[in-house]
Amino acid sequence: MKNPIEEIGILHRSNVHIKNKDKLNEILNNIARGGLRKLQVVSDFDKTITKQHEDGIPHLSSFAMFSRIRSAAEDETYQATVKKLRQKYYPIELDPHIPVKDKIKHMEDWWNLSEKAISGLMVTQQDIDDVCLECKPSLRNGCKEFFRDLNDSNVPALVFSAGCGDIVAAVLKHAGVYLPNVKVISNFLKFNEDGTIMGFKDKIIHVFNKNEYAVKNTDFYGEVADRENAIVLGDSLGDAAMTQGMEHCQNALKIGFLYEQIEDSLPQYLDTFDIVLVDDQTMDVPRAIFDYIRDAAR
């Protein structure tokens, strides 16, 4: 059996952590045998496609960008509510000592209360485009090239986000990576006739319920029905479950980006992801693995 870890030199970097090398080699060999025609990519958006920080300054999430839209920024009640919610629930999301099963109810509460807070605001597509251009979120170094390689190779890519779908889609479009192979599943806003937000269109997606229920009845599911291998990218423990329930997905290579509470969180991340990248603001590892799979088929 080949030893892909030895062949993919970037996996030897000091910030690349692998708990079970035998398992990883097995997954990489299986995916390489299937080639690109059996491959799909499933990725989180906030802090996965976008950088976790720029020179130590955290990047805004899609919901944080939404909060800078004029109608939201000028609504003192909305601003006070979302600030209070974040102060209460974000530490719970990150706390490595709280089991995921206990976090889920808190995340449901956070997203449900956020939906109530956002309802009643008036926002236009131009407002969304303007705030994305104003905030200029940075994609990971090499992200644009990675997405273009996927598109050129006809590899489907799903951006699966618990953020604000309208912002996610706008950022991808402005960055030039919302390509024909890319689909977005997220919390898209529902508007009434006069442009007032009524909540979200579908069942709320939060950081710990990104599983097959949101994918199964979509066009994307049909497109990947014959693609049994997946590269999964995320920064939250819940992201590792994004292909859960895909009966056809036999090999999922899970890559986790870790930046906050590194020392306390690393053991859980190593138990959850096949590869953990500590404070890595690039797409170097996913691109190197993609190149390995592509080259193996030649």
User: Is 108 among the domain residues?
Assistant: no
Residue 246 has pLDDT above 90, yes or no: no
In a domain, 114, yes or no: no
Residue 65 falls inside a structural domain: no
Summarize pLDDT for 90-99 with one digit per residue, the tens.
999 989 899 9
Give the type of residue at 156: P
If one counts the domains in the chain, the total is 1
Q: Report, as residue numbers or ranges, the catalytic residues.
A: 44, 46
Dihedral sign computed on CA atoms, order 15, 19, 22, 26: negative
Per-residue pLDDT tens digits for 40-65: 999 999 999 999 998 888 889 999 99
Using CA atoms, how far residue 186 sits from 70, 190, 201, 202, 251, in Å, is: 22, 12, 10, 9, 24
> In angstroms, rounded to a whole number, what is the distance separating the alpha carbons of residues 46 and 59?
9
Whether pLDDT at 236 is above 90: yes
CATH code, domain with 36: 3.40.50.1000
Residue 102 lies in a domain: no
179: in domain:
yes
The answer to whether position 64 is within a domain reads no
Share of the chain above pLDDT 90, in %: 83
User: What amino acid occupies position 175?
Assistant: A
Q: Which domain holds residue 173?
A: 4-54+135-297
CA-derived radius of gyration, the chain: 19
Q: Residue 128: inside a domain, yes or no? A: no
Q: How many CA atoms lie within 13 A of 29 on its CB side?
A: 12
- Can you give the pTM of this predicted structure? 0.94
Q: Residue 69 falls within a domain, yes or no?
A: no
